[in-house]
Amino acid sequence: MKIKTLAFQTQLLLLLFLCTSCAQVAKNSDTLRAAKAPAQYGVDRFTTEQKHNAHYVEVGEGPPAILIPGLFGTYRGFSRMLPFLAPHFSLIALDNFGTGDSDMPDENFGYTVAEQADMIVKLMDELKIPHCTLIGVSYGGMIALNIAARYPKRVNAVVCIEGAVIMPKPSPYLFMEQGLNTPIIGDAIIGFIRSGLLDTIIAEDVMGHAWPNMGAGDKAEIKKIISHYTDAASRPTWLSLARALRTSQDFTEEAKVITAPVLYLSGDKSSFREMTETNIDYFRNHLPNVSLVSFDDGIHDLELQKPRETASMIIDFLTTEHSRALASTAIVQDGPKPPPSLPSTSQIGHPIGTYQ
């Protein structure tokens, strides 16, 4: 028994060492100039705002729209929606700082919602985009709403997929914080994550109740997307990201001045349903122009679960808002038309309420 126990402990220590070695990743503006894996849709690009590389993918034609991923996600989280959105919009799909092929600043950057928002506005300046639509998921939705509140003239419309103005309390990532905050244990955790051994488990957790009913092809595609999330993990950065929901400055008062039209999409089966309901109440009470739609069987990451339906809802909403903007300036012009392959929005989701 002692021999077996000793052998097991030796193997565990060796595995922890290997995983810790895998976790040692450094990225800075001097070393990273190309994406590790080329984009499936669009063209990889980099900007050097704040003396760091920020990676994004450009694809599509039409009015500009910036896609902002969730907390630990990358632009690839939108890859299932890009083919549907690209015929209608000039898309800029981002890797937030700390994720994907963007840099991981370790000094004077806390990965808060406002800091990521400022980075995106500087990216807009560099790309000479005076204003655009913002499409954000979860943490990315928080960032989109933060930009709409603090930089109102830069935002035409916001599509927020289970984002928030009111942060979830307590933070759902407190346990992760505790683990990552201890160097040896945290490096081992990140090593396991980066090894790919947990990709299927993470994918099942992200997709929740939707996972068992998905086809093999969809499951493989989502696991591949998750693998790109985990491949970029590092302990200091993921620790900061995990803290971001606690350390980000409250902007509930600033958000009350948001005038841009907002489409808020949520899922009735979301693991964050309590948070979304709190924010839905906030939107009803404070935002003058918000459309609220929930999917009966929807999860938190609708862009992964229902890319076609979510894209259809976005196209319909933004086309309507574009037509209204043209009408208000007395300009007559044909707006983009949804592709015939997309379902009618009357067949998807259920309205919680429209307030205009």
Predicted TM-score (pTM) of this structure: 0.85
Of all helices (H) and strands (E), which one includes residue 215?
Answer: none
Average pLDDT over residues 136-158: 97
Rounded CA gap, 115 and 118, in Å? 5
Q: pLDDT tens across 19-66, in order?
A: 444 444 444 444 445 677 888 889 999 987 567 889 999 999 999 999
Q: What confidence tier does 352 reach under pLDDT thresholds 50, 70, 90?
A: low
Give the residue extent of every domain in the chain. Answer: 43-355
Q: Which residues contact 35 (CB under 8 A, 6 or more apart)?
A: 44, 55, 101
Do residues 98 and 241 touch, judged by C-beta distance below 8 A? Answer: yes
Q: For residue 198, how many other CB atoms are within 10 A of its CB?
A: 15
Between the alpha carbon of residue 208 and those of residues 202, 230, 267, 307, the distances in Å are 10, 18, 12, 16
Question: What is the enclosing helix (H) or strand (E) of 73?
Answer: none
Confidence of residue 209 (pLDDT cuts 50, 70, 90): very high
Return the ∠ at Cα 69 (arms to 305 and 81), rounded to 5°: 45
CATH code 3.20.20.120 for 43-355: no
User: Is residue 82 within 8 Å of residue 42, measured between CB atoms?
Assistant: yes
